[in-house]
Amino acid sequence: MRSISSRQRSRILQLEEAARPLEPDAGERDRLMAEVHAYAQGFLDGLPERLAYQHDKSSVARIRELEIGSGTRSIDQLVDRIDESVVGAGLVPSHGGHLGYIPGGGIYASSLADYLAAVTNEYAGVRFAGPGAVEMEDAVLDWMAALVGFPEGSDGNLASGGSVASLIAVVTAREATGLRARDYERAVVYSTAHVHQCLHKALRVAGLGETVRRDVPLDDGFRMCPDSLAALIATDRAQGLRPWLVLASAGTADTGAVDPLSRIADVCEREDLWYHVDGAYGGFFALVEGCQPVLAGMERADSLVLDPHKGLFLPYGTGAVLVRHGEALQDSHTYYASYLQDTVVSEWGGRSPAAVSPELTKHFRGLRVWLPLLLHGEEPFRACLEEKLELARYFRREVEALGFETGPEPDLSVVTYRWVPETGDANAFNRALVEETHRDGRVFLSSTTVDGTFLLRMAALAFRTHLHTIDLALDVLREAVERLEADPARWRAAARGEALTAGLPGGSGD
507 in a domain, yes or no? no
344 in a domain, yes or no? yes
What pLDDT is recorded for position 175?
97
The CATH number linked to 284 is 3.40.640.10
The CATH number linked to 467 is 3.90.1150.10
CA proximity to 233, closest of 253, 212, 249: 212
103 in a domain, yes or no? no
Q: Is residue 139 located within the same domain as residue 125?
A: yes
Residues with Cβ within 8 Å of residue 345, at least 6 apart in sequence: 128
**How big is the CA angle at 356 (ends 354 and 362), to the nearest 5 degrees?**
35
Residues with Cβ within 8 Å of residue 262, at least 6 apart in sequence: 296, 297, 300
**How big is the CA angle at 423 (ends 421 and 424), to the nearest 5 degrees?**
90
211 in a domain, yes or no? yes
Pairing of strands 212-215, 187-191: parallel
Please tell me the total count of domains within the chain.
2
Q: Is residue 186 located within the same domain as residue 227?
A: yes
Exposure b/e, 391-400, CB count within 10 A at least 16 = b: bbebbbebbe
Q: Is residue 237 located within the same domain as residue 386?
A: no
Q: Is residue 427 located within the same domain as residue 367?
A: no
Q: Is residue 309 located within the same domain as residue 446?
A: no
Q: Is residue 228 located within the same domain as residue 189?
A: yes
At residue 320, what is the residue type? A
Q: Is residue 192 located within the same domain as residue 269?
A: yes
90 in a domain, yes or no? no
Q: Is residue 332 located within the same domain as residue 420?
A: no
What is the helix (H) or strand (E) element at residue 156, kind and residue range?
Answer: strand 155-159
CA proximity to 247, closest of 213, 208, 219: 213
Residues in the chain where the model's pLDDT stays below 50: 347, 498-510
Q: Is residue 358 located within the same domain as residue 429?
A: no
Q: Rounded to an integer, what distance in angstroms lies between the CA atom of residue 402 and that of residue 481? A: 10
Q: Rounded to an integer, what distance in angstroms lies between the CA atom of residue 352 and that of residue 17? A: 38
Q: Rounded to an integer, what distance in angstroms lies between the CA atom of residue 308 and that of residue 286? A: 13
3 in a domain, yes or no? no
The DSSP bridge partners found for residue 53 are 91
413 in a domain, yes or no? yes
Q: Is residue 353 located within the same domain as residue 429?
A: no
Q: Rounded to an integer, what distance in angstroms lies between the CA atom of residue 462 and that of residue 505? A: 25
20 in a domain, yes or no? no
Domain region containing 477: 379-495
Q: Is 304 exposed, middle or buried (0-12, 13-18, 19+ CB in 10 A)?
A: buried
Q: Is residue 328 located within the same domain as residue 424?
A: no
Residues with Cβ within 8 Å of residue 383, at least 6 apart in sequence: none
**What does 441-492 look like in DSSP terms, one character per residue?**
-SSB-EEEEETTEEEEEEE---TT--HHHHHHHHHHHHHHHHHHHH-HHHHH
Question: Which of 376, 408, 428 is the endpoint of a domain?
Answer: 376
Specify whether the CB–CB gap between 174 and 208 falls below 8 A. yes
Q: Is residue 197 located within the same domain as residue 307?
A: yes
Q: Rounded to an integer, what distance in angstroms lies between the CA atom of residue 191 and that of residue 203? A: 12
Question: Which of 310, 344, 376 is the endpoint of a domain?
Answer: 376
Question: Which of 330, 348, 376 is the endpoint of a domain?
Answer: 376
The runs of H, that is alpha helices, within 82-196 are: 108-120, 131-148, 162-176
